């Protein structure tokens, strides 16, 4: 029996029941060293069996989870819950009991469970104990994938409104635990806006983020070195905005854009963001140069959201005919295009190719991202425009680059905007920002890609306290997956912002 003071501190009691009985007896001595056992009398008490799933929050019912994810702590959204029991049945049977309406699985035992049950589907039973009454619910399923997810996730914490953009923090979360650290905090960088922390999937990773303000620049981290770069030249439209770094860390493809936020005139919409102009530029971080091509610049079209293919030989991007905005914003539809790229020379092709005609089906594409294995291209689809986060109808679609087929991922998408996604290095998981819970706050969700290319129901990033998402007043913006801890922190970022001269790039 766990002493009362320890139960109060941890908010739960735990025991494992191993079967068959002979197996339990053989391992009892070892088991007592790591977990505390107590009488299972509570499990045999009478209760009313309900023909419905338990009201768990967050919604972790019937999902596929990584074999290295932090505990899926959850709560029961019901009145008068004094305690409840969770029984998980797989190769072994695991029983946990909470002394309130919240379950917090011990991290050590949770990791042992995932390792033991890797590749298995678990049945999760919940029995709730109230005032003189107990209820049993239908079980839900957890499938523990053999494929792990990248260990780290970065995201920008920001209020979901344009007025408070100057209160921003970029965090890095360890997905195997609840540990976080701060990569950037604009409280210590003159309240300058910071955004777009993006990492390439490489053995020697490179990353960038933009730090605005009087001492700002594009922060480029590679091979242990942190640089502050001015990517604007007299020959190009502006500085780098959205973009991606090639796997070798040398080249980056970026948008230059004049981005305009406005309040929407339509009563059922909040905010609209559009590009009054935008082109593409190629950055060479080794030679400090900027280059472009006539086919991806000019006034007739607007190009944005570029990304590299897995082999770095193709660049995908979004393109729309130029129309005056905001008057014509509802008529702007971006299609998916590509341009050839030679990673050995850094030369772009002389022509572009249409990959997906979104306008033909009344849609607009944004934020394409290639899977690291080269099989898929994941992108956001809205009814119009270029800023999906404020479009309720935005969904994620998956293009199979081998077959040309598009999956609208109806099982994965939610009722509100799903956008701003990132692949795990093994191409089996992706993270994205979703407003499905309340239509306002973006939260990081994860989904799994099966062998046949189908995707699963998504689940939200686990938190130590399950009620976290009911009380936090921040959106998780641009979640980014990567497998190696970022090389700098907020204090390093402050030093380079305050003390380091900006490197100027030249037009090639």
Query: Are 295 and 408 members of one domain?
Result: yes
pLDDT at residue 33 greater than cutoff 50: no
The per-residue pLDDT for 221 is 97
pLDDT at residue 21 greater than cutoff 50: no
The per-residue pLDDT for 261 is 76
Q: Give the number of residues written for the chain.
A: 508
Q: Are 401 and 310 in contact (CB under 8 A)?
A: no
Query: Are 137 and 162 members of one domain?
Result: no
Task: Say how many domains are in the chain.
Answer: 2
Structural domain boundaries, residue 476: 152-504
Query: Are 209 and 273 members of one domain?
Result: yes
Query: Are 349 and 388 members of one domain?
Result: yes
Query: Are 54 and 178 members of one domain?
Result: no
What does pTM read for this prediction? 0.89
Contacts of 239 by beta carbon, 8 Å cutoff, 6+ apart: 218, 230, 231, 232, 256
Cα–Cα distance for residue pair 386/142, rounded to 1 Å: 36
Of 60-69, 106-115, 127-136, 182-191, the least confident: 127-136
Q: Are 145 and 464 in contact (CB under 8 A)?
A: no
Query: Are 358 and 342 members of one domain?
Result: yes
- Residue closest to 454 by CA, chosen among 415, 480, 421, 428: 428
Two structure tokens written together for 338: 């590509």
Strands 12-17 and 93-98: antiparallel
Share of the chain above pLDDT 90, in %: 76
Query: Are 132 and 246 members of one domain?
Result: no
Instruction: Specify the DSSP element, H or E, that contains 195.
Output: strand 194-199
Cα–Cα distance for residue pair 310/370, rounded to 1 Å: 7
The per-residue pLDDT for 8 is 31
How high is the mean pLDDT of the chain? 89
Domain boundary among 126, 144, 162: 144
pLDDT at residue 17 greater than cutoff 70: no
Residues 365-390: tens digit of each pLDDT: 999 999 999 999 999 999 999 988 88
At residue 34 the predicted structure's pLDDT band, cuts being 50, 70 and 90, is very low
The per-residue pLDDT for 45 is 54
The per-residue pLDDT for 84 is 93
The Cβ of residue 22 has, within 10 Å, a number of other Cβ atoms equal to 9
The per-residue pLDDT for 273 is 83
Which residue in the block uniquely carries the two structure tokens 């009691």? Answer: 13
pLDDT at residue 6 greater than cutoff 50: no
Average pLDDT over residues 43-49: 68
The per-residue pLDDT for 164 is 58
At residue 161 the predicted structure's pLDDT band, cuts being 50, 70 and 90, is low
Query: Are 209 and 261 members of one domain?
Result: yes
Cα–Cα distance for residue pair 397/406, rounded to 1 Å: 7
For residue 116, the domain's CATH number is 2.60.40.10
The per-residue pLDDT for 429 is 98
The per-residue pLDDT for 159 is 86
Query: Are 92 and 199 members of one domain?
Result: no
For residue 254, the domain's CATH number is 2.120.10.30
The Cβ of residue 125 has, within 10 Å, a number of other Cβ atoms equal to 18
pLDDT at residue 357 greater than cutoff 60: yes
Residues 212-270: tens digit of each pLDDT: 888 999 999 999 899 999 999 999 988 999 999 999 999 999 999 887 777 767 767 77
The Cβ of residue 65 has, within 10 Å, a number of other Cβ atoms equal to 21
- Residue closest to 110 by CA, chosen among 130, 121, 94, 87: 94
At residue 25 the predicted structure's pLDDT band, cuts being 50, 70 and 90, is very low
Domain boundary among 144, 169, 189: 144
Query: Are 268 and 169 members of one domain?
Result: yes
Residues 293-313: tens digit of each pLDDT: 999 999 999 999 999 999 999
Residues 72-113: tens digit of each pLDDT: 999 999 888 889 999 999 999 999 999 999 999 999 999 999
Query: Are 209 and 114 members of one domain?
Result: no
Share of the chain above pLDDT 70, in %: 89
pLDDT at residue 9 greater than cutoff 90: no
Domain boundary among 144, 166, 183: 144
DSSP 458: P
The per-residue pLDDT for 46 is 72
Two structure tokens written together for 294: 């006539």
The per-residue pLDDT for 39 is 29
Cα–Cα distance for residue pair 444/173, rounded to 1 Å: 11
Cα–Cα distance for residue pair 205/320, rounded to 1 Å: 32
Query: Are 190 and 294 members of one domain?
Result: yes
CA atoms within 13 A of residue 224's CA, in its CB half-sphere: 0
DSSP 137: -
Q: Mind giving me the DSSP string for 397-433?
A: EEEETTT--EE--TTT--SS-EEEEEE-TTSSEEEEE
The per-residue pLDDT for 275 is 86
Cα–Cα distance for residue pair 242/255, rounded to 1 Å: 5
3-class secondary structure, 113: helix
């Amino acid at each position: 029996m766990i002493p009362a003071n320890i139960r109060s501190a941890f908010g739960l009691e735990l025991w494992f029941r191993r079967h068959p009985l002979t197996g339990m007896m053989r391992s009892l001595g070892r088991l007592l060293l790591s977990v505390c056992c107590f009488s299972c009398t509570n499990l045999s008490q009478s209760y009313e069996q309900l023909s419905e799933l338990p009201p768990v929050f967050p919604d972790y019912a019937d999902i596929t989870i990584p074999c290295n994810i932090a505990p899926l702590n959850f709560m029961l959204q019901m009145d008068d819950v004094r305690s409840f029991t969770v029984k998980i049945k797989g190769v072994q049977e695991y029983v946990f009991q909470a002394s309130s309406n919240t379950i917090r699985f011990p991290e050590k035992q949770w990791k042992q469970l995932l390792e033991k049950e890797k590749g298995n589907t678990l049945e999760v039973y919940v029995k709730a104990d109230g005032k003189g009454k107990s209820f049993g619910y239908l079980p839900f399923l957890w499938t523990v994938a053999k494929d792990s997810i990248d260990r780290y996730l970065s995201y920008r914490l920001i209020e979901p409104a344009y007025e408070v953009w100057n209160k921003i923090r970029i965090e890095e979360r360890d997905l195997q635990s609840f540990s976080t650290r701060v990569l950037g905090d604009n409280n210590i960088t003159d309240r300058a806006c910071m955004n777009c922390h993006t990492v390439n999937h490489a053995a020697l990773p490179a990353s960038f983020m933009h730090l605005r303000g009087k001492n700002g620049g594009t922060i480029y981290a590679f091979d242990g070195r942190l640089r502050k770069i001015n990517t604007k030249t007299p020959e190009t439209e502006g500085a780098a905005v959205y973009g991606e770094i090639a796997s070798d860390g040398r080249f980056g493809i970026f948008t230059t854009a004049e981005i305009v936020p406005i309040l929407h005139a339509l009563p059922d919409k909040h905010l609209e963001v559009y590009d009054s102009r935008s082109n593409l530029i190629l950055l060479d971080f080794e030679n400090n140069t900027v280059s472009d091509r006539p086919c991806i610049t000019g006034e007739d079209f607007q190009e944005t959201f570029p990304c590299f293919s897995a082999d770095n030989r193709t660049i995908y991007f979004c393109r729309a005919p130029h129309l005056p905005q905001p008057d014509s914003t509802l008529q702007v539809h971006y299609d998916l295009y590509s341009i050839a790229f030679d990673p050995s020379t850094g030369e772009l092709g002389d022509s572009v190719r249409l990959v997906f005609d979104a306008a033909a089906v009344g849609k607009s594409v944004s934020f394409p991202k290639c899977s690291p294995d080269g099989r898929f291209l994941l992108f956001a689809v809205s009814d119009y425009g270029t800023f999906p986060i404020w479009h309720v109808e935005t969904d994620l679609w998956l293009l199979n680059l081998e077959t040309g087929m598009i999956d609208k991922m109806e099982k994965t998408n939610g009722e509100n905007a799903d956008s701003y996604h990132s692949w795990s290095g093994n191409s089996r998981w992706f993270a994205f920002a979703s407003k499905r819970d309340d239509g306002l706050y973006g939260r990081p969700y994860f989904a799994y890609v099966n062998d046949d290319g189908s995707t699963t129901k998504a689940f939200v990033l686990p938190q130590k306290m399950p009620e976290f998402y009911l009380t936090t007043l921040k959106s998780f913006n641009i979640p980014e997956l990567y497998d190696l801890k970022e090389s700098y922190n907020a204090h390093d970022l402050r030093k380079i912002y305050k003390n380091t001269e900006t490197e100027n790039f030249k037009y090639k």
